[in-house]
Amino acid sequence: MSTSQILDLALWCAHPVLQSVVVVAIWRRKLQKQFPAFFSYLICQIVFFALIFPFRSHYTWFFWVYWVGAAVNVVMSFMIIHEIFVDVFRPYHTLKDLGTVIFKWAGVVMLLVSIVVAFSNSADRGWLMHALLTLQRSVRLVQFGLVLFLLLFARFLGVSKRQFSFGIALGFGFMAGVELLLLAIVAGGYMDNRGFNSVNMVVYNISLLGWIGYAVFSVGARLAAMNPLQTQRWEQGLVKTHDPMPADSLIPMFESMVERAINRTESLEDPSAADVKYPSKALSAASTGTGTKFRG
């Protein structure tokens, strides 16, 4: 076994060790109830390593376990993105509900795009592998975009950079950004697949170390939003859009009746008259027909 292979094996074996430390830290801080998808993701990673490591010399078993694990990782990564989004918008219920709907549709769109791309480029490899790779890269792009979103809007939303959700997003965003960059380098012929895998393992270990730090030292309190009125206006605007006034509501009709009664009273009677002070009487007289009749 060459030196590079020993180094790759050491980097790979470090994954379950660091993941176990993150799991223990999360359990001790009781964060698994707030972030169940991320907690389940780490446990699944440890289980898949235990299943795949004994079969690393058997190509068939390694192949199937690896790609089943890849499919599960794609689904759970998307669930973690939604979990982070929900935690960020926790004080804003309407924005959180809107984000949930958007994420569901985004997942459906990414799945359809992956299937179409897989069937259109399945000559060199199986369509299922191509679909998983396309879906995985789509999730990586969303993860990288989520980090950029948090970096730009964290102060507006009152999100602290010491929150655990921010640390999770930062780790996945760091991995996603490096992986997308490496894919471009490999496509240009400047790096082979072995170098790609080695760098990815190093980056993943760095992300795990970052998650350990956030799991141990993160804070639960949010910051005061830099511009809370703007975020509240977004929330109120969505509430009005979601719950508009019914078209057949009687409120506008009664308001119009009161306004007409007040205008007629002011134009034909003394401004100090009782009907001006008590417009409800004018409305009652106008509606029952027992009030004073005015000639036009």
Q: What is the pLDDT of residue 295?
A: 42
Q: What is the CATH number of the domain that holds 7?
A: 1.20.1070
Q: Is the dihedral of CA 152, 158, 159, 160 positive or negative?
A: positive
* Span of 91-100, 180-189, 218-227 with lowest mean pLDDT: 218-227
Within this chain, do residues 284 and 192 fall inside the same structural domain, yes or no? no
Phi, then psi, of 219 in degrees rounded to 5? -115, 155
Are 53 and 164 members of one domain?
A: yes
State the total domains in the chain.
2
Residue 236 has a pLDDT of 55
The structure's pTM equals 0.70
User: At 26, is the pLDDT very low, low, confident or very high (cuts 50, 70, 90)?
Assistant: very high
* Structural domain span for residue 202: 3-225
Domain final residue pick, 209, 225, 241: 225
pLDDT at 82 over 70: yes
Among 178, 208, 225, residue at a domain's last position: 225
Q: Does 203 share its domain with 264? A: no
> Lowest-confidence range among 12-16, 40-44, 176-180, 268-272?
268-272
Helix-strand-coil split of the chain, %, nearest 5: 80, 0, 20
Across 224-229, average pLDDT: 50
In angstroms, rounded to a whole number, what is the distance separating the alpha carbons of residues 73 and 180? Answer: 17
The answer to whether residue 230 sits within a structural domain is no
Confirm whether 233 is domain-assigned: no
